[in-house]
Every structure is written in structure tokens, then in C-alpha cells.
Structure 1
Amino acid sequence: MTLFGYARVSTTDQDFGIQEAALRAAGCQTIRSEKTSGTERGARTELQILLDFLPAGDTLVVRRIDRLTKSMTDLQDIVHELKGRGAH
């Protein structure tokens, strides 16, 4: 099992430092980061790369759930997509 991290900030003046440190501490070897709003999934290209790539048995890790998405519907879609491919 491999852990893949995802870090996101909303504005260009924010940085990923705290999120990336927490993801590394959790054991993530690969971390994808982006500066974009969490409200529109289409704008989160790094997240989509992870979702497209993540193989069965591997795990997507985020520091906080609001870094993954701002919408319960989007969260459900992401979870269903991961489960459908056997990822966590």
C-alpha cells in the first residue's frame, strides 16, 4: 500500500508548508499540491491527476477534509470514485 498526499490552498499568498509536512509525517511519498479554490472540481487538476492515477490498494491522504473539497456532494463523488477503483 502506498500513500499519496494532496495539499491545496485557495490563494497565491498561502503556502503548502504545514500540509506537506503533515502528509510527509503520515508517510506520503508522493504529494500533489495546487493553489485553487475547492469549490469547483474542474479547476483542481492536481487532484484529478491523483484520482486518475491512484491504483487499487493505495490511499489518498489529506491533512483536513476541507483541503479536498468544500462540497458534501463532491466528497461523496470522490469517495465513490476511489472505492470503485479499489483505492482508499
Structure 2
Amino acid sequence: MNIFLTPELARFVQSTVKNGQYRSVSEAVQAALQLLKEQEALVRDNSSPAINPQKPSYDFSDLVGRLTWRGDALEIQQNLRDEW
């Protein structure tokens, strides 16, 4: 497989090999692709409820009705975060 990099990316990859971070250009590109794969998995796993129907969605206008004068807004906010 052949790939073509911009001159800037080519210099960057070569510098990572030259300074010893990676043993070869191939190893550096493999590491970059592994990071891209992991990043895409994180994005997919943290997608919005509209995109991912398995995660619960909330009507935040209802949150106002659930607040009390005791100041439990922070507790409710934490509970909502935990549910996500």
C-alpha cells in the first residue's frame, strides 16, 4: 500500500523517527492510525442521544419543575450525568 502525505506531515513523521519515538515511518503511521481508530470509537460511544437511541434522552424543561428551594440542583445535575 502506498500513501501520500503533505510535506508538513511527511516532515513530522520523519522527525518522530529521527528523534527515536518510532523505529520506522511505517511504525509511526501505524501508531497514528491506531490513535485515529481509538478516537473514532470514543466519538461513536459518546454520540448524542438523537444519534444513539440506546442512551436515554431528557426533556431539560422538566428539570426546572424538579428543582426545590433546598438547592438540590447540583445533586440532580450529578444524577443526570451519572445516567448518561
Question: What TM-score does the superposition give when structure 2 sets the normalisation length?
Answer: 0.27
Larger Rg: 2
Question: What TM-score does the superposition give when structure 1 sets the normalisation length?
Answer: 0.26
Indicate the structure whose relative CO is greater, using CA pairs within 8 Å and at least 6 residues apart: 1
Q: Judging by fraction of residues, say which structure has more helix.
A: 2
Q: Judging by fraction of residues, say which structure has more strand.
A: 1
